[in-house]
Amino acid sequence: MDVRNCKTCGRLFNYLGGPNICEACRADIEKKFQNTKEYIRENPRASIQEISDANEVTTNQIRQWIREERLQFADDSPVGIECEICGATIRTGKYCENCKNKTADALSKSIEKPQAPPPPVQKPKKENKMRFI
């Protein structure tokens, strides 16, 4: 059994994987997430700071949700986080469109390397040499 300290409330809990957060705090965060999402829908032009104040969540937590693509913002929302590569302002995910295309490009290039076709697999012939003695 893996018992750890919850990084939010400090209580010991039975660790089952993922972040070091106990069930109670996880449920709490989830509730805050729903509230935050609701708040953003009702206040599409709120800034991260306003969202943070209104929902008692840290701005870091909000940024994390944005990176996880759990929160979406309107085009005219002042909310933005930085692309992890070039620092451009984005509204969701980790990278801007540009960098996303570049990384996708680099990825597909490394996958599309010309490869010699694999040699035909020759099945070993079954030897029917069962002998009954």
Closer residue to Zn ion in complex, CB, 71/96: 96
The least distance separating Zn ion from the CB of residue 11, rounded to whole angstroms, comes to 5
Q: DSSP states of 47-114 as a string?
A: -HHHHHHHHT--HHHHHHHHHTT-----TT----EE-TTT--EESSSSS-HHHHHHHHHHHHHHH---
Calculate the CA 80 to chain-centre distance.
Answer: 17
48 binds Zn ion (CB under 5 A): no
8 binds Zn ion (CB under 5 A): yes
Tell me the residue length of the chain.
133
Closer residue to Zn ion in complex, CB, 44/91: 91
Closer residue to Zn ion in complex, CB, 41/87: 87
Q: Which of residues 17-36 bind Zn ion (CB under 5 A)?
A: 22, 25
Q: How many residues bind Zn ion (CB under 5 A)?
A: 11
99 binds Zn ion (CB under 5 A): yes
Two structure tokens written together for 124: 């070993």
96 binds Zn ion (CB under 5 A): yes
DSSP type of residue 116: P
User: CB under 5 A: which stretch of 2-10, 31-39, 50-58, 73-81 binds Zn ion?
Assistant: 2-10
Give one word for 117, left, alpha or beta, with left for phi > 0 and alpha for psi -120 to 50.
beta
9 binds Zn ion (CB under 5 A): yes
